[in-house]
A = this chain, B = another copy of it.
């Protein structure tokens, strides 16, 4: 998925709206336009007063599970930890400006803060898509380590600096699911002509494999899957996929989500607003983002655990692993597609070089640590019985 798609995935599938958060045009409904027009006449809060009031618009609907709730948590802890010296009011996508104009509104100073996902801004700065998640790239733990100890924060600040913003990692979905398929994938050949809804870099890889990649507003995905208009779609992971009801329209749930191994949520702050903060409030914002970063991942892990159990044991979903031959083929295609994209832009190349270096060592360590532990833990022994 692109996380913005999840604009459609509300907590109960009955409430799926038709408005698409991925399609920029989709946010331009009359109601939204009216709100946006009204927004420009809102009085701007003074930054120099004792108590500052900031506005943050998210690219997702307000209170959206895992994403909107992460933004709420960020705002809540900024307010609490600053003792009210800086309060952040949260607006859902489209409440002040159209969702995908959030970055423009922050860059221009209409808003102080935004909350979204880095690849939304690739049309403005191509390198931002490499700050997000990269097919077969880093997982979430490695991505966080890269940001803090591998030069990633400095590079992300450079990328977001081009947009007039300060960058913070402010949540992560962890590795996503491979997607919902009505056709089996037994070899790379099976991608030829496969009609799949898969955006972003993952979509480019599927295209390179011969797939017929389509983009659909979230609300149109379940009927398209049910009617056979598309053969497959990816979305997020068990937590959001269960709520979206995709299991009703697809035969197989494939894993792993090679295309988005660690989808990062960004908190971007107008540089002017950021620089107006004293060192105390800058530290509050940094720590509140660390809190939100962990909080969102925790929420996804806890709920993915439960939701997968529900999908398999209550809804009889069939889990399937992409065959190694297929993953090997997709991995090679990903390398080409991503390398080609990055070589067109110096800043993208600089970011990707840093990630390639970090990933080289991370793969060796992961194999003998987390991966080996996961495998050992599910060997056929009886653990604690109480």
Q: Which residues of A contact B (CB under 8 A)?
A: 77, 80-84, 136, 139-142, 144-150, 174-175, 177, 237-238, 255-258, 261, 278-280, 283-284, 286-288, 290-291, 293-295, 297-299, 301-306, 308-309, 312, 319, 321-322, 324, 327-329, 331-332, 334-335, 338-339, 342-343, 349, 352-353, 356, 358-359, 361-386
**Which one of A139, A352, A366 has the highest number of Cβ atoms from chain B below 10 Å of its Cβ?**
A366
Q: Given the complex, which residues of B lie within 8 Å of A304, measured CB to CB? A: 365, 369
Q: Is the CB of B148 within 8 A of A295?
A: yes
Q: List 14 A-B contacts (CB under 8 A).
A: A80-B283, A81-B283, A142-B305, A144-B294, A148-B299, A256-B369, A301-B362, A304-B369, A305-B364, A308-B364, A309-B364, A328-B379, A339-B384, A339-B386
Q: Is the CB of B376 within 8 A of A334?
A: no
Q: Is the CB of B256 within 8 A of A302?
A: no
Q: Is the CB of B305 within 8 A of A139?
A: no
Instruction: Tell me the complex Cα distance, A284–B78, Å.
Output: 9
Q: Given the complex, which residues of B lie within 8 Å of A308, measured CB to CB? A: 361, 364-365, 368
Q: Is the CB of B302 within 8 A of A381?
A: no
Q: Is the CB of B335 within 8 A of A142?
A: no
Q: Given the interface contacts A77-B287, A283-B80, A304-B365, does A382 sit within 8 Å of B149 by beta carbon?
A: no
Q: Given the complex, which residues of B lie within 8 Å of A374, measured CB to CB? A: 139, 366-367, 370-371, 374
Q: Is the CB of B363 within 8 A of A279?
A: no
Q: Given the complex, which residues of B lie within 8 Å of A335, measured CB to CB? A: 381-385
The one of B174, B278, B299, B327 in contact with A376, judged by C-beta atoms closer than 8 angstroms, is B327
Instruction: Tell me the complex Cα distance, A182–B68, Å.
Output: 53
